[in-house]
Structure 1
């Protein structure tokens, strides 16, 4: 008989405990099966995410990872991606231009965008010589047409072949601020205008077109010979060119500073010579030349000490008027010149 206060199932479990244990195990097994059924697909999914494409049976070319939004990328990451795509960003000066360049590069992956700084394609045999050396770049930039025949169209064509970095260097030489210039053409036009202004200033002042009034121009041997009216053949023989004319008013006289970079008194002379050039203005062509770079010329000029300041007349073939060895102050230099002219 069962007790009226408990059910038959309860009474049965009390008399036979193993039956109760069986029921508990049945419930636990059912719950475990449900959990396993719901978690196994998830585990398999994450396993597939961490498996290489080759193991799964397809190539990496079939896997396309989403590209980050350029507007959310850092400038450094944008530049790195452009570099990986062989796209130049040298002419991009702000975030907007960099972002636009990257969007264009992604839209046309087979045709990389070229910066305005890039040079035209060359043959494989000429690749090694295509990059101009610093000396070649300097020579190109310094080949300014003479004051008497300044050709604006020709100058613009030459400037447009230069790289942006070279244009910035030349603009700095002409004391033109380029910080606000975004487009390369703006730099080209500004540099051309500065060169035209210089050409006008040097008209009837400098024979080579390289010497500006009111400034100290560091020249090389070729420019100095042109300013002096000397022949290179005479210099090769170790003599000065002496045959000339009797026209003392052909050009302003020349004040030449022969210096060396290691010379202390030469460095002391620099600001004083500049001040004297500003005061003398269009009356004197003030130049300086490095005696270590042009030892042949220093030998012909018979330079014995540094610095040596030599004054030449303004004839078509200039002759030495006077010289002084050692550093002078600004007033001393001006007095030295005015004592003769």
Structure 2
């Protein structure tokens, strides 16, 4: 039974595998656990999502970055393709410099795929939604 962090309150929820596609809601706040778009990650919520058992794909980006702006709608579309098997999150490297430093982010956009709190793979550069989904699925096997 995987754990999923709520996109609204970051509470950890246990959801049976069979119910993941049934629109599960947070046991604490009642929000939908999968909303079809990436979660905005902050220092307050990052570790909760990182340590949940659901794989986490993070887009490290910044508002001034042209390729990040181009990729944003593609990453949004990829969330609809990958949820509920993968949680997608966006982390603003300007607002959350400590987390970006923790993962040695040197160029953006950079995506890192995590499973159970550990980095599985990373890639840099803008990608289409289909390429993001294919890359993430390929890394998870």
Q: What is the TM-score when the length of structure 1 is the normalising length?
A: 0.33
Q: Hey, what does 2:72 align to over in structure 1? A: 270
Match of 2:49 among 193, 218, 227: 227
Q: Hey, what does 2:112 align to over in structure 1? A: 310
Larger proportion of strand = 2
Equivalent residues of 1:213, 1:282 under 8 A apart? no
Q: Hey, what does 2:58 align to over in structure 1? A: 256
Q: Which has the higher contact order (CA 8 A, sep 6+)?
A: 2
Structure 1: how far apart are the matches of 2:84 and 2:58? Answer: 15
Aligned pair in 2 of structure 1 residues 279, 145: CA closer, same or farther (>3 Å)?
A: closer
Show structure 2 runs of 5+ residues with no match. Answer: 1-6, 12-25
Alpha-carbon offset, residue 252 of structure 1? 1.6
Secondary structure in structure 2 of the residue aligned to 1:340: helix
Alpha-carbon offset, residue 305 of structure 1? 0.5
2:31 matched to 1:149?
no
Structure 1: how far apart are the matches of 2:36 and 2:112? Answer: 18
Worse overlay, 287-296 or 214-223: 214-223
Q: What is the TM-score when the length of structure 2 is the normalising length?
A: 0.78
Larger proportion of helix = 1
Structure 1: how far apart are the matches of 2:85 and 2:10? Answer: 23
Secondary structure in structure 2 of the residue aligned to 1:320: strand
How many pairs does the alignment contain?
Answer: 120
Q: Hey, what does 1:105 align to over in structure 2? A: none
Equivalent residues of 2:10, 2:49 under 8 A apart? no
